[in-house]
Amino acid sequence: MTQFGFIRTAAAVPVLKVADPSHNVEAIKALAREAERLDVSITVFPELSVTGYTCADLFQQNILLRQAENGVRELVDFSKDIKGILVVGAPVESDGRLYNCAIVIKGGKIKGIVPKIHLPYYGEFYESRWFSSGSDFLKISSESKRKIKYAGVECPISPNIIFQLGETCFAVEICEDLWTPIPPSSYHALAGAEIILNLSASNEVLMKDIYRQNLISQQSARTLSGYVYCSAGFGESTQDLVYAGVKAIYENGTLLAKGERFLTGPSLTAADIDTERIRAQRRRTGTFRGMTPEGSDSSFSDNYIKVQIEDDVRTDFASKLLRKVDSLPFVPDGQDKDYRCNEVLSIQVSGLAKRLLHINCRSAVIGISGGLDSTLALIVTALAFDYLGWERKRIVGITMPGYGTTTRTRSNATDLMEALGVSSREISIKAACDRHFEDIGHDQSVHDVTYENSQARERTQILMDVANQTGGIVIGTGDLSELALGWATYNGDHMSMYGVNVSIPKTLVRHLVSWAAANHFSGENSVEGRSVKDILLDIVDTPISPELLPVDAMGRMTQKTEDLVGPYELHDFFLYYFFRFGFTPEKIFFLARKAFPQDVYSDQTIQKWLKTFLRRFFSQQFKRSCLPDGPKVGTVSLSPRGDWRMPSDASASSWLLPLFHHSLQ
């Protein structure tokens, strides 16, 4: 039984003895028992694992073929005592021809036999010397003739078998099949297979492992599938080649787990593939939905055999999920961090530069608060002007201190503008807001939404009017997280003429400012002993606040955004899984518990802010329905013209119901 669409899979490499099925079957059993202890649903063994791949002309020997069949029969009997599926490799004879096959075994039965289609015939490989291509079975239209009696039972045989396991489907291809211009798995995926299993015997030569990993990753990405790859290891003959026991599990091109190579003992690598995530990706990808096997080589697409397999593996995903759940899914990490940060900024800069050129703009006007969002917008604008070869003095930065402005944010704003060499202006909004409150009859001691939003709209009016004065446009500073929550004043900071941060979530904003400080502005001018880098890093450390409520007696901010709407790292996490994959609140909660330790966020805290996220996301759509233009940067974008189209009056009841009426433990 699967939970939230997870299927636990494993690649298992036993230490074999070439041409010794009796020994090999015992080695397979030992790893199958280990997989059983891990509650694995599908365990994949290497190509020809019952005999060994490197038997060469011994494959023509009757004794080896009989022992291999007896070994499979023994594994079938053994499978009665385990719940998982075993997929092993063995030579199978039919009508005087020998086939290199994968045999799918479950519950004391052979569920299907999948013969290899593409046989290597180059260099040291000469597989067609012993085996025939499984394409022989694709030419058979009769259902009865696509069955074979093997190991004492009658079972289907074809390269085109889709195995149905609960709500998911899987299929098999073998080694060289993957290396062809159009692998069989391409057709299997189009026929419904969400997981592809590959039994392989891929030898090692210099740099081949990198190429092979890229190949697996690309095929997993292209087919939007989970891909379990298992290759022969230490026990194979080293007469001319060496086999390292490659074990790798991918999902939609992303590596979930990879085992160590060149081990001298048996090994098993397991991971949980998320089939709900795969289905969501396929639903959203029009080019996948629009493809059909019939539009390609019909020999691969005709007459797929569907085999039902009972799903009785009870996996406790709640206690141990065998995959990483990143708490910051938008934030780059690891080796490609620099590349991805540079790529994000380059997209923002290029988008703004094009807009400035297109409208023959003379200036860019930005409201600078000393906070993260306006800082990133200023960074992007400065880099765009550098990119165009324009003077930074044509950038007009405006600080607009109000009732809640603190000394720290004000000085950071003014120092940053001076250090970057942009034009700066300070226009207080206090007098204008005082008069406005008088005009509308609002008591200034009442710090309600009118009090706060009036300040935001006054600031927006100033920016728009100065843009008119200088022949420029207002650069929007609002980010993706604020748009998701509707944390913006309608026709206030909600509005601009081009929003450079429109698809940058708050967790990434902080990261990008830090990265830019180290990689773009480390050598810029200093102001009163503080470099641009110093100022940027201080801004990163400043609490997030709209600064719309008066400061306390010590001049400190009294309003912190995350105290009001919740932690942005949680909201960004919710947004990612809600938007990208359409996951249910129950599954998002489950994943959040895996991503964040209990001492960081308790179950009650996660549930509380998940309710807040869903309520606000649905109720605030009207603000997203009229967004200014802005560049899409990542896979999550809420532009009403592109990635997210939602009625402003849609009900959130179906999403909130589980959170209010059911335990999510």
User: Do 305 and 338 lie in a common domain?
Assistant: no
Residue 409 domain flag = yes
Calpha distance 148→115 (Å, rounded): 12
> Residue 366 carries which side chain, given as an amino acid letter?
I
Calpha distance 254→500 (Å, rounded): 29
pLDDT digits (tens, 9 = 90+) for 457-507: 999 999 999 999 999 999 999 999 999 999 999 999 999 999 999 999 999
| In the predicted structure, residue 296 carries a pLDDT above the cut 90 | no
List the catalytic residue out of 29, 47, 127, 433: 47
| Average of per-residue pLDDT across 382-386 | 97
Taking Cα atoms as reference points, which of 493, 511, 512, 532 lies closest to residue 349?
A: 512
| Average of per-residue pLDDT across 326-344 | 92
> Residue 178 carries which side chain, given as an amino acid letter?
L
List the catalytic residue out of 101, 175, 361, 433: 175
pLDDT of residue 273: 98
Active site residue 169: no
Taking Cα atoms as reference points, which of 6, 24, 1, 37 lies closest to residue 88?
A: 24
User: Do 548 and 621 lie in a common domain?
Assistant: yes
Check residue 152 and report its DSSP letter: T
CATH number of the structural domain spanning residue 260: 3.60.110.10
User: Do 548 and 497 lie in a common domain?
Assistant: yes
pLDDT of residue 317: 77
Residue 256 and residue 307 in contact, taking contact as beta carbons nearer than 8 Å: no
Residue 303 domain flag = yes
Check residue 225 and report its DSSP letter: S
| Average of per-residue pLDDT across 129-157 | 87
pLDDT digits (tens, 9 = 90+) for 150-171: 999 999 999 999 999 999 999 9
pLDDT of residue 559: 58
| In the predicted structure, residue 375 carries a pLDDT above the cut 90 | yes
Residue 319 domain flag = no
Residue 21 domain flag = yes
How would residue 36 be classed by pLDDT, with cut points 50, 70 and 90? very high
pLDDT digits (tens, 9 = 90+) for 168-222: 999 999 999 999 999 999 999 999 999 999 999 999 999 999 999 999 999 999 9
How would residue 124 be classed by pLDDT, with cut points 50, 70 and 90? low
| In the predicted structure, residue 582 carries a pLDDT above the cut 90 | yes
User: Do 107 and 152 lie in a common domain?
Assistant: yes
How would residue 299 be classed by pLDDT, with cut points 50, 70 and 90? very low
pLDDT digits (tens, 9 = 90+) for 584-614: 999 999 999 999 999 999 999 999 999 999 9
End-to-end CA separation in angstroms for the chain:
18
Taking Cα atoms as reference points, which of 45, 101, 175, 114 lies closest to residue 300?
A: 114
User: Do 294 and 390 lie in a common domain?
Assistant: no
Total of domains in the chain: 2
pLDDT digits (tens, 9 = 90+) for 281-291: 999 888 887 77
pLDDT digits (tens, 9 = 90+) for 4-18: 999 999 999 999 999
Check residue 122 and report its DSSP letter: S
Residue 86 domain flag = yes
Active site residue 154: no
Calpha distance 345→464 (Å, rounded): 25
Calpha distance 267→246 (Å, rounded): 10
User: Do 398 and 258 lie in a common domain?
Assistant: no
pLDDT digits (tens, 9 = 90+) for 237-281: 999 999 999 999 999 999 999 999 999 999 999 999 999 999 999
User: Do 297 and 342 lie in a common domain?
Assistant: no
Dihedral in degrees, nearest 10, Cα atoms 155, 156, 157, 161: -140
User: Do 295 and 350 lie in a common domain?
Assistant: no
Domain that holds residue 61: 6-309
Calpha distance 521→536 (Å, rounded): 9
pLDDT of residue 300: 43
Calpha distance 131→539 (Å, rounded): 67
Average pLDDT, the chain: 92
List the catalytic residue out of 83, 106, 111, 116: 116
User: Do 517 and 560 lie in a common domain?
Assistant: yes
What residues have CB less than 8 Å from 6, skipping those under 6 apart?
272, 273, 274, 275, 315, 317, 321, 323
Taking Cα atoms as reference points, which of 480, 538, 546, 481 lies closest to residue 514?
A: 538
Active site residue 626: no
pLDDT of residue 1: 44
212: left (phi over 0), alpha (psi -120 to 50) or beta: alpha
Can you read off the two tokens belonging to residue 83? 């719940």
Residue 498 domain flag = yes
Instruction: For the chain, give the percent of residues with pLDDT over 90.
Output: 82
User: Do 351 and 296 lie in a common domain?
Assistant: no
pLDDT digits (tens, 9 = 90+) for 60-69: 999 999 999 9
User: Do 346 and 301 lie in a common domain?
Assistant: no
pLDDT of residue 334: 79
Count Cα neighbours of 639 within 13 Å in the Cβ-side half-sphere.
20
CATH number of the structural domain spanning residue 561: 3.40.50.620
- In terms of C-beta density within 10 A (0-12 exposed, 13-18 middle, 19 or more buried), how is residue 493 classed? buried
Residue 622 domain flag = yes
The CA-CA-CA angle for residues 267, 269, 270, to 5°, reads 145
Count Cα neighbours of 406 within 13 Å in the Cβ-side half-sphere.
23
pLDDT digits (tens, 9 = 90+) for 563-572: 788 999 999 9
Calpha distance 403→583 (Å, rounded): 42
pLDDT digits (tens, 9 = 90+) for 534-557: 999 999 988 776 555 665 555 554
Residue 328 domain flag = no
User: Do 107 and 198 lie in a common domain?
Assistant: yes
pLDDT digits (tens, 9 = 90+) for 301-333: 556 999 999 988 877 777 789 999 999 999 988
566: left (phi over 0), alpha (psi -120 to 50) or beta: left
